Amino acid sequence: MGDGQESEGAERGVGAPRATEPGGVQGAPPIQTMSDRQIVRVAGRGLPLRGDNIDTDRIIPARYLRAITFEGLEAHLFEDDRQAPGHPFANPAYRGASVLLTNANFGCGSSREHAPQAIRRWGIRAVVGQSFSEIFFGNSVALGLPCVTASAEGVGALMDLVERDPAAEIMVDLDGLTVTAAGRAHPIALAPGARDAFLSGQWDATGLLLDRYEEVEAVGRRLPYVRGF
């Protein structure tokens, strides 16, 4: 299982996870502000995952979806694919990687949010690919996992680099819309709404509610169908 770390840099909240899980109010850690949740840049080593149309059933097989929480899903990330010799998620050289490199239509198939959950819990903090399934992309945004697109040439160059040198660092800059490695910058694209949510820290809908939880409770006290429970 990976143990990827988020980069520590000049920008606050680079790839920072949210402080609380949904519903985690009583006894929860201090609630983060939007500035704490800003994701401006993500830096780390890369993991190359070649192949188009990698679907969510390959990412996290359906037999692991029966649990009532997402805890432990990372242990089964690409459970079946990892049995193939040389699979990058089974390669110790990529342990601790935090930037996943993919090809076209990554995350297609069923809409299971378990797929980005397993990827993020493994330690991935950004995905650079040629294209993504729309539902997978939306589920990833809700977790604070940026999925940015680059050209086939750009993705190929990054994959070639980390295959030659697994220790090479990749910097994904959501503000400047570039991904940089080995002194070479490649342009990336990200939907404006998602980009604004990451840069402002508003990607975490649960966190936004908890930021103003007193107001939420006040509204609840005025609703008869809430007061009765």
Write the pLDDT tens digit of every residue in 197-216.
Answer: 999 999 987 777 777 778 87
Q: Which two tokens stand for residue 201?
A: 């820290």
Length of the chain: 229
Residue of 193 and 27 predicted with greater confidence: 193
Half-sphere exposure of 29 (CA within 13 A, CB side): 9
Phi, psi of 185 (to 5 degrees): -105, 135
- Token pair recorded at residue 109: 């198939």
Model confidence band, residue 18 (pLDDT cutoffs 50, 70, 90): very low
Mean pLDDT of the chain: 85
pLDDT digits (tens, 9 = 90+) for 140-185: 999 999 999 999 999 999 999 999 999 999 999 999 999 999 999 9
pLDDT value at residue 190: 98
Give the predicted TM-score (pTM) of the model: 0.80
Q: What are the residues whose beta carbons fall under 8 Å from the beta carbon of 102, sequence distance 6 or more?
A: 49, 54, 127, 128, 129, 130, 132, 155
Number of alpha carbons in the 13 Å side-chain half-sphere of residue 38:
17
211-224 tens-digit pLDDT: 777 887 888 888 88
pLDDT greater than 50 at residue 11: no
Average pLDDT, integer, range 24-47: 71
- Axis-axis angle for helices 192-200, 134-143 (nearest 10): 10
The residue that leads in pLDDT, 188 or 9, is 188
> Which domains, ranges and CATH numbers included, belong to the chain?
41-227 (3.20.19.10)
